[in-house]
Amino acid sequence: MSILSKEQAQALLKKVLSYSKADECEVNLSGSDAGNIRYARNSVSTSGGVSSNSLVVSSAFGKKMGVATINEYDDESLRKVVQRAEELAMLAPENPEFVSFMGPQTYPESATFVQATADMSPKDRADAVAASLQISKENKLTAAGFLENNTSYSAMMNSKGLFAYNTSTGVSFNVTLRTEDGKGSGYATKSYNDFKKLDVKAASASAAIKAARSATARAIEPGKYTVILEPAAALVLLENLFFGMDGRQADEGRSFMSKPGGLTKLGEKLVDERVNIYSDPFNTELPTSTWSGDGRAQEKVNWIENGVMKNLFYSRYWAQKKGVKAIPTPEAVIMAGTNQSLEDLIKSTEKGILVTRLWYIRSVDPQTVLLTGLTRDGTFYIENGEIKFPVKNFRFNESPIIMLNNLEALGKPERTVSGESGINALIPPMKIRDFTFSSLSDAV
Amino acid sequence: MRRRDFVHLTGLGAAAAMLPSIPVWGNSVPLDAALDRIDPVLKKRMSDVALNAARSRGATYTDVRIGRYLNQFVVTREDKVENIVNTESYGMGIRVIANGSWGFAATDKMDNDSIAKAAELAVAIAKENSRLLTEPVQLAPQKGYGEVSWKAPIEKNAFEVPMKEKVDLLLSVNDAALKGGANYANSVLFLVNEQKYFASTDGSYIDQDIHRIWPTFFLTKIDAKSGKFETRNSLSAPMGMGYEYLEARPQDKIQGVTTLYKGRYDMLEDAKAAATQVGQKITAKSVEAGKYDLVLDPSHLWLTIHESTGHPTELDRVLGYEANFAGTSFLTLDKWQSKNFKYGSDLVNIVGDKTQPGSLGAVGYDDEGVGTKKWDIIKDGVLVNYQAIRDQAHIVGLNESQGCCYADNWSSVQFQRMPNVSLLPGKKQKSIDDLIKNVEKGIYIIGDGSFSIDQQRYNFQFGGQLYYEIKEGKITGMLKDVAYQANTQEFWNACSDMCDERDYRLGGSFFDGKGQPMQSSAVSHGCATTRFNGVNVINTARKI
């Protein structure tokens, strides 16, 4: 096991700091035990278990900083790693943007660790995959999927008296089921801290339904359509908005948040007033660490409130320079919604397209957050409140800013995970008008 | 090194913002540590511990990879050095076949007990998984090579170049860019040294030393009045070379609308040109959407080859092993079996190659102990082969693997990865001007930009760095807001002309992503400037 208890971590960190001769020293410690299993063609393909750990020492003399890391924890190795960091600091040029490490902080406990996930064995993983394969075979489909769990801890201490510790568990599962003739494909993805919340059978069954229903898709003309985006599809677009909310980029004039003359759009209403996006480490559905890697506390932050851009995240240096609060980047985001189900959104749609997954999203223009990518694994035509038939996949060119201005309706948020970046989020399904599909794809 | 770790580390993308903030990219080492190498005798001894432990638990095949992965980054912006990082990752990955099933385990604790335990875990996982197997793993035969070694043919180990020299180069690049009119300049030097040891129950003990280098920059220019901004990225290529890549000679340069680089790179010269061009991009004409003949420079076309030829000819995708993540392929086995599937025009000849000197994919042996080679994938426009590894070779009637197995770390399991996949240059002598002079309405595209393609590799969209309008055989000025969309087969069948080998150059990426958990692989793609007729171009300008 690579997981140290709070007391073990604290003792080790104190020992490391006792070797420091630098003006300031900060040590980050982390470790994880992870296991995974992968399957394809209705059979297990690869799987493995990896234990790893790391200790990172940052030493500073004035504004000169060096970083060294090691994964052996005997006294000689610990002395060596501190000495290396100090040697590198002496070699490094002075960085005017260096900010002194933080003093003592208090953090509430996080709810990121779940024992049931930490207890997962290779047998648990194989059993879960067996359940998914059974659904695939019963429905005469071909399955490819992946299940991964990890238990990790992180701790930090510095010469100014800061100490932080956290443990975390995670399990993620995703599966693609395809019809034997390759004409239909369905997907499901789930991610939790608690293994007990993962229902592999239900996820596989929903992918099986999409696979069967998406076969023999019809081609319809690309153009502007009302779309209903399932949460997994919406997240991969919206995350590009979140990633662009860096204060320095905005101030420097090189993001969608910038305005001429070094001004920003902070405080302006950029999207529909029903859009509320925030982060909250204490959310019970999506708990995250209560501190960031440089020791800053993670608190609840409103990023977009009633369509108005409320906050940006900052490095400690840039926040100090600008005289603003140094809000760290969140680990996960939450978008508020309503109590409407996906089915409710479909029922209220006269003509539209249901998009269950989007894929290969890339930035086309950072100034407008214009993105391109494609639909995948189940795209359906809706008429008079019902799914009528599957349609061939589209390439789109669209900006999440434009999209959130064309908001028609929001559903009930659910936890999902980005197929592009891997971040977790609580996102509602959403109905958007005039979404721009620019060409057809033959891909299934 | 995953792409997102790189993006995070270098602070080059806003995406960095959402990633975990604890800087764990491996173990930092002193600046001279790369010069020490672990004794192959010790590595053989550790390997034998793993091979014996796995065998005694019932493994019928075992391979062991001991990896020491060294990276160095020098990260600058404007007149500041933001970060100097040396990382090291050292450990062992053990892969076994037991009860006909694969199992894998990895450890960074290198004592005999920990190694034996990891080997036992790999066997236990294989046995647990064997109940879910439909057919046992079938490995193509591979002779043992005994104790052998291979080293990348570099001239100057970049890890040995004094730090001051590297810092001075990057700061001079930024300075030239700012003096030339750019508002912001970021530059990065990224060095990789993979010291890999492979041992297997086939009787191979292979020691390899691989070097890669990637110098790059990113310039931004903002129009103060409108607030519009444009960027221009470096035209460098990541290479399987030492520091000599940064020592460009006159014979390494191709002159044109901007200087292009063949095999070696003049970073300072490119930065000066880029500073002018990023200003021109702001006032350039917005493209009118429609059909254009495209003349594509190798600094751009490498990525189109990567996405539309490299990926769909990966056999694991064709067979469905990547169905849940990277996707499958439109180049299904029946198209290959027909021996007449017209992937491209007669001019299109594409090879897989793990041996090309200076390329990112070049090694002596792959990560399952197979000696590397070169082979045809597209011959005179027809699909003739794929990219395969040992447990796939029998599926396409091969008696041996094509040597395409790779793992990005000791802790990652090896699987089928793309070799260098390159478009052979034309046989007739032709210059870039010869290609342009026959174009009535076209666009000449240099440098790679936005890229996206579907999961079966039919529909793609690409942008670039520089776009020049061609009218009646002449370049008339710069364009912006350009992206082209096409279907892979239609695009390659529209390939109408190409330059000869004098113009042949490599492009590539450090971050080709595939697999779950996702792994990155470095790969090069060579080609000469090539023309494609009648491709659909869209205008990407929007208002928010």
With CB atoms and an 8 Å threshold, state whether A69 touches B167: no
Q: Is B438 on the interface with A (CB under 8 A)?
A: no
Chain A: nearest CA to B427, how far in angstroms? Answer: 34
Does residue A2 register a pLDDT over 80? no
Across the interface, do A443 and B459 touch by the CB < 8 Å criterion?
Answer: yes
Residues of B in contact with A148 (CB under 8 A): 516-517
Contact check, Cβ <8 Å, A69/B320:
no
d(CA B197, CA B150): 10
Cβ-based contacts of A438 with chain B (< 8 Å): 485, 538
Residue B125 near residue B103 (C-beta atoms within 8 A):
yes
- Show which of residues 273-302 on chain B sit within 8 Å of chain A, judged by CB atoms: none
B9 pLDDT more than 50: no
Summarize pLDDT for B149-158 with one digit per residue, the tens: 999 999 999 9
Is the pLDDT assigned to residue A67 strictly greater than 90?
no
Interchain proximity A84–B131, CB inside 8 Å: no
> CA A199 from chain center: how many Å?
20
**B460, amino acid identity:** F
Domain over A6-212 is classified CATH 3.30.2290.10 = yes
Task: Delimit the domains of chain B by residue range.
Answer: 3-167+185-221+233-246, 286-539
Collapsed DSSP state (helix, strand, coil) of residue B542 = coil
In whole numbers, what is the pLDDT of chain A averaged over residues? 95
Strands A223-229 and A351-355, bridge-based pairing? parallel
> For the residues A293-306, what does the mean pLDDT come to?
97
Which amino acid is located at B16 in the chain? A
Question: Contacts of residue B2 in chain A, CB cutoff 8 Å?
Answer: none
Q: Which of A49, A67, A441 faces B85 most closely, judged by CB atoms?
A: A67
Q: Shortest CB distance from A176 goes to which of B220, B227, B324?
A: B324
CB–CB of A443 and B457 under 8 A?
yes
The nearest CA of chain B is from the CA of A360 a distance in Å of 6
Chain A nearest CA to B71, separation (Å)? 13
Chain B residues within 8 A of A242 when measuring between CB atoms:
17-18
The span from the first CA to the last CA of chain B, in angstroms, equals: 35
Given an 8 Å threshold on Cβ–Cβ distance, is A239 in contact with B18?
A: yes
Q: Is B17 part of the contact surface with chain A (CB cutoff 8 Å)?
A: yes
In whole angstroms, what is the distance from residue A100 CA to residue A164 CA? 17
Q: Which of A45, A54, A260 minimises the CB distance to B227? A: A260
Least confidently predicted of A62-76, B2-16, B194-208, B251-265: B2-16
What is the distance in angstroms between the Cα of A338 and the nearest Cα belonging to chain B? 26
Q: Residue B18: what pLDDT?
A: 31
Q: Has the ipTM of the complex gone over 0.90?
A: yes
Of the candidates A86, A84, A80, A83, the residue with the CA atom closest to the CA atom of residue A64:
A86
* Burial (CB count <10 Å: 0-12, 13-18, 19+), residue B506: buried
Note whether B163 contacts A91, CB cutoff 8 Å. yes
B3-167+185-221+233-246: CATH number: 3.30.2290.10
B258-266: long-range contacts, CB 8 A cutoff, minimum separation 24:
B258/B446, B258/B466, B260/B235, B260/B297, B260/B298, B260/B299, B260/B446, B260/B505, B261/B235, B261/B236, B261/B237, B261/B505, B262/B503, B262/B504, B262/B505, B263/B358, B263/B505, B263/B506, B265/B215, B265/B235, B265/B236, B265/B237
Q: B61-77 and B80-98: which strand pairing?
A: antiparallel
CB atoms A123 and B226 under 8 Å: no
- Answer whether A372 sits within 8 Å of B122, measured CB to CB: no
Does residue A191 contact residue A72 with C-beta atoms inside 8 Å? Answer: no
Between CA B14 and CA B25 the distance in angstroms is 19
Provide the 3-class DSSP secondary structure of residue B261: strand
Residues of chain B numbered 445-464 and touching chain A (CB < 8 Å): 450-459, 461, 463
Tokens encoding B156: 């100057």
Q: Looking at chain A, which residues constitute the CATH 3.30.2290.10 domain(s)?
A: 6-212
Question: Exposed, middle or buried, A261 (CB in 10 Å: 0-12/13-18/19+)?
Answer: exposed
Query: What residues pair up with B530 in beta bridges, in sequence order?
Result: B296, B498
Residue B36: the pLDDT is: 66
The model's confidence at residue A1, banded by pLDDT at 50, 70 and 90, is low
B365-411 per-position pLDDT tens digit:
999 999 999 999 999 999 999 999 999 999 999 999 999 999 999 99
Per CB-CB distance under 8 Å, the chain B contacts of A397 are 461, 538, 540
Query: Terminal CA-to-CA distance of chain A, rounded, Å?
Result: 42
Tell me: pLDDT of A86 over 50: yes
**Inter-chain residue contact B485 with A438, CB threshold 8 Å:** yes
DSSP letter (8 states) at residue B265: -
Query: Is the minimum CB–CB distance between B533 and chain A shorter than 8 Å?
Result: no
Strand (E) or helix (H) holding A140: none
Which among B17, B228, B323 has CB closest to A144? B323
Please state, in angstroms and as integers, the Cα–Cα distance from residue A97 to each residue in A12, A179, B23, B215, B411, following that order. 30, 56, 17, 23, 35
Pairwise CB contact (< 8 Å): B455 & A376: yes
Contacts 24+ apart (CB under 8 A), B106-112: B106/A48, B106/A49, B106/A50, B106/A51, B106/B410, B106/B411, B106/B412, B107/A51, B108/A51, B108/A52, B108/A53, B108/A71, B108/B410, B108/B411, B110/B46, B112/B46, B112/B49
Cis peptide bond prior to A122, omega within 30° of 0: no
Distance from CA of B266 to the nearest CA of A (A): 25
The SS3 assignment for B475 reads strand
State the smallest CA–CA distance between residue B261 and chain A in angstroms. 26
Contact B459 A54 (CB under 8 A): no
C-alpha distance from residue B329 to each of A25, A155, B309, B516 (Å): 51, 44, 10, 18
**Stretch 169-198 of chain B: residues touching chain A, C-beta under 8 Å:** 183-184
Lookup: tokens for A305: 């409130």
Q: Do A69 and B26 touch (CB under 8 A)?
A: yes
Residue whose structure tokens are 């035969």: B141
pLDDT of the residue at A48: 81
Average pLDDT over residues B525-540: 98
Q: What would the two tokens of residue B124 be?
A: 């236990």
C-beta atoms surrounding B543 within 10 Å: 7
Is residue B521's pLDDT more than 80?
yes
* Residues in B 465-494 with any Cβ partner in A closer than 8 A: 481, 483, 485, 487
Q: Dump the DSSP string for B154-209.
A: -SS-GGGS-HHHHHHHHHHHHHHHHHTT-SEEEEEEEEEEEEEEEEETTSEEEEEE
Contact between chains at A256 and B544 (C-beta distance less than 8 A): yes
**B544 has a chain A CB within 8 A of its CB:** yes
**Closest to A348 in 3D by CA, of A413, A430, A275:** A430
Closest by Cα among B515, B526, B8, B3 to B240: B526
- pLDDT category at B19 given cuts 50, 70, 90 is very low
**Which residues in chain B are contacts of A253 at CB distance < 8 A?**
183, 222, 227, 229
Residue among B8, B132, B228 with most chain A CBs within 10 A, to mutate: B132
Q: How is A52-97 classified by DSSP, letter by letter?
A: EEEEEEEEEETTEEEEEEES--SHHHHHHHHHHHHHHHHHSPP-TT
Q: Which residues of B3-40 are buried (b: 16+ CB within 10 A; e: fewer)?
A: bbbbbbbbbbbbbbbbbbbbbbbbbbbbbeebeeeeeb
Q: Residue range A430-444: average pLDDT?
A: 97
Q: Which residue of A has its CA nearest to B22?
A: A293
B229 touches chain A (CB under 8 A): yes
Q: What tens digit of pLDDT does each residue of A149-176 get? A: 999 999 999 999 999 999 999 999 999 9
Residue A77 pLDDT: 81
Asked if B15 and A30 come within 8 Å (Cβ–Cβ), the reply is no
Most A CBs within 10 A among B32, B120, B125, hence the mutation to make, goes to B125
Q: Residue B420 is which amino acid?
A: N
Which chain B residues are within 8 Å of A252, Cβ to Cβ?
A: 183-184
Whether B517 sits inside 8 A of A148 (CB atoms) is yes
pLDDT at B25 over 70: no
Q: Scanning every residue of chain B, which has its alpha carbon at the shortest distance from the alpha carbon of A185?
A: B323
Residue of B459, B481, B543 best to disrupt the A interface, most CBs of A under 10 A: B459
Question: How many whole angstroms separate alpha carbon A94 and alpha carbon A96?
Answer: 6
* pLDDT single digits (tens) B422-443: 999 999 999 999 999 999 999 9
Which of A1, A26, A360 to mutate against chain B (most B CBs within 10 Å)?
A360
